[in-house]
Structure 1
Amino acid sequence: MRKRRIITIAAFGAAASLALAGCASDGAGGTTEFGGGGGGSTGEKGTITLGFLPSWTDGLSTAYLLQDQLEKIGFTVEMKTLTEAGPLYTGLAQGDVDVFPSAWPEITHAEYMATYGDSIEDLGTYYDNAKLTIAVPEYTDIDSIEDLASAGDQFGGKIFGIEPGAGLTAQTQKMMPEYGLDSSYELVTSSTAAMLTELKSATEKKEDIVVTLWRPFWANDAFPLKDLEDPTGAMGEAEGLHFLGTDGFAEEFPEAAELIEKIKLDDAQYGSLEDLVVNEFGEGREAEAVDAWLEEHGDDFDWVVS
């Protein structure tokens, strides 16, 4: 097993990150301590730990897809769930997490990569058109972010965001002064679930609301939404979704790295996977969702292990 590295945590709320990184949910209602490798049974080819944020359903979906595929080629897969990106990148860089199954390293998580990138290796891009957005309901008479500046009262002076440590949150904070929104709006951060609750309530009542969102994400189809135009590009350009590994992963697990590198999904394939995992099957039935997805799409790929 690779030597576990000790790194200095220098940014992004170090104290909070260390506290969260020390203990993460094991995905089964308990907790799993970081450090020392996997605590479960060791598969024929070793144990690989996947770290992800369940509320970020791109990573949730691909984590269970990877678990399915890696276990079928002889690995034991340990799932570690966290609530913030900072501790996840910390765990990945330290080697306590082997793979982050849906990272946004090009733009959204660029600051994390600047801090931890020397201890992380890129295992491949599985989707190449991800984008951060600001969205409102379809019935709202606003079509551009620049129109929000004069409509603060219409939206109660609030933009509903997700987790404070999310790259989307940081990008939105950078965007707001560019459009003059910092004086008339508060970016309300809590969690993805809390944002979706506000969005559901507002759209059911046909009320105006502004939220931070991203594509691909199932909520774009589940709610009557439209992305606001971003004339200055302040929310960033489209980027790729990557599988990231801890430094040395491909050398230690070459067969796993080769399989991961082959995974490529288009909009329809990704959308189907996320919809099945999040909506049709739901929590506790993710493995069934992946089975259903592979039955539908398995013939599309040369990397699928049945």
Structure 2
Amino acid sequence: MKLFKKILCAATLAGAMVSSAHAAKATIAMGTMSWEDLTPITYITKNLLEKAGYDVKVTEFSELGIAYAALAKGDVQIMASQINYAAQDHWNRNKSRLEKLSPVSFGLYQAIAVPDYVTIDSMTQLNDHVDQFGGKIIGIEPGSGLMRDADNAVKAYDLKYKLITGSTAGMTAALKSAVDRKEWVAVTLWDPTWMMMKYNMKFLKDPQEVFPGPQAYYWIGKKGFAAEHPEVREALAGIYVPLSAIAEINNGMNDGQTVQQASEAWIGKNADRVKRWENMKPY
């Protein structure tokens, strides 16, 4: 009788352990850049995975090359990125250790932009107004796809301008200062961004098509992630974040919300859309 009770207790304990292990969700290490287009995608997805029971840890990187290296090493497991053009060099350098999981948004455009009060509309007109622009195009961080394309544009259009390498923060400050004074300024810019609306910006036409067309965002992962976490991969495939959501979340952040608060607010206002995403998940 004592032996039977011991066996029964052992079997019950084992069953409880199996049940607990089955119920437990994995911890997902998610990387992102602290960019206004990628952070909304990241935190919307983080929120939904956490609601599904996963523990999601986000690491924000300051440089894209470092982020890709961390993903290739497995320090983070997944990351949203624009791999076709904006991050093409980094993707090509690391793709043997990575895998594309699913598209998550579409429509990113990057080029040279000017305030709408500037009376030119095309890259071909820049050389007629070198002095008004101070002979410079204000750029962002070195090594970005946008700066690579901007450098190619300077050469393709034989522009008599210096492309200034710096930071996104520096470009934003220079843009604000110029707009406040109604001065002519040319910057490397992208859409979606709050700056397009706040400063009434327009992209210069690019008849030589140096800058790529609208680009897609993908979830990418350390190679083997989809096989190891098929449920997470399926959940990611069900999520599609429109550019309007990215813009709305950034507006919330400009109003003082954290990215987590702004993402949660967007999810709350779009419950029907999110419910459709959740209906696609296999758990």
Report the TM-score, using the length of structure 1 for normalisation: 0.79
Give me the whole-angstrom Cα distance separating, in 2, the residues matched to 1:270 and 1:286: 11
Alignment-mate amino acid for residue 174 of structure 1: N
Alignment-mate amino acid for residue 214 of structure 1: W
Do residues 46 (structure 1) and 21 (structure 2) align?
Answer: no
Do residues 109 (structure 1) and 87 (structure 2) align?
Answer: yes
Do residues 140 (structure 1) and 114 (structure 2) align?
Answer: no
Residue deviations 1:50-75 (CA, integer Å, cap 9, x gap): 21221x11111111112211111122
Deviation at 1:140, TM superposition (A): 0.6
Equivalent residue, structure 2, for 1:210: 186
Give me the whole-angstrom Cα distance separating, in 1, the residues matched to 2:205 and 2:213: 12
Do residues 178 (structure 1) and 178 (structure 2) align?
Answer: no
Equivalent residue, structure 2, for 1:279: 254
Contact 1:269 1:297 in 2 (8 A): no
Alignment-mate amino acid for residue 210 of structure 1: A
Deviation at 1:291, TM superposition (A): 1.7
Do residues 259 (structure 1) and 232 (structure 2) align?
Answer: no
Deviation at 1:115, TM superposition (A): 1.1
Alignment-mate amino acid for residue 275 of structure 1: N
Identity of aligned residues (%): 33
Counterpart of 2:108 (choices 130, 137, 154) is: 130
Contact 2:249 2:259 in 1 (8 A): no
More helix by percentage: 2
Give me the whole-angstrom Cα distance separating, in 2, the residues matched to 1:255 and 1:304: 12
Contact 1:50 1:78 in 2 (8 A): yes
**Helix, strand or coil at the partner of 2:247:** helix
Give me the whole-angstrom Cα distance separating, in 1, the residues matched to 2:226 and 2:155: 42
Q: What are the within-5 Å matches in structure 2 for residues 91-106 of structure 1?
A: 91-101=70-80, 103-106=81-84
Alignment-mate amino acid for residue 271 of structure 2: G
Alignment-mate amino acid for residue 50 of structure 2: E
Deviation at 1:270, TM superposition (A): 3.4
Residue deviations 1:68-100 (CA, integer Å, cap 9, x gap): 111111221111111111111111111112111
Distance 1:99 1:238, change over 3 A: same
Give me the whole-angstrom Cα distance separating, in 2, the residues matched to 1:210 and 1:111: 25
**Helix, strand or coil at the partner of 1:259:** helix
**Helix, strand or coil at the partner of 1:114:** helix
Alignment-mate amino acid for residue 254 of structure 2: N
**Helix, strand or coil at the partner of 1:134:** strand
Equivalent residue, structure 2, for 1:288: 261
Give me the whole-angstrom Cα distance separating, in 1, the residues matched to 2:79 and 2:167: 20
Alignment-mate amino acid for residue 65 of structure 1: I
Deviation at 1:149, TM superposition (A): 2.1
Q: What are the within-5 Å matches in structure 2 for residues 1-306 of structure 1?
A: 44-54=24-34, 56-101=35-80, 103-181=81-159, 184-276=160-252, 278-282=253-257, 285-301=258-274, 302-304=276-278
**Higher alpha-carbon Rg:** 2
Superposition misfits of 4+ residues, deviation over 3 angstroms: none
Give me the whole-angstrom Cα distance separating, in 2, the residues matched to 1:296 and 1:106: 31
Give me the whole-angstrom Cα distance separating, in 2, the residues matched to 1:133 and 1:219: 14
Deviation at 1:281, TM superposition (A): 3.9
Q: Which runs of 5+ in 1 are unaligned?
A: 1-42
Give the count of matched residue pairs.
256
Deviation at 1:275, TM superposition (A): 2.5
Deviation at 1:304, TM superposition (A): 4.2
Residue deviations 1:172-208 (CA, integer Å, cap 9, x gap): 1112100112xx2121122111111111111011111
Deviation at 1:268, TM superposition (A): 2.8
Alignment-mate amino acid for residue 161 of structure 1: G
Deviation at 1:266, TM superposition (A): 2.9
Q: Which runs of 5+ in 2 are unaligned?
A: 1-22
Give me the whole-angstrom Cα distance separating, in 2, the residues matched to 1:267 and 1:108: 16
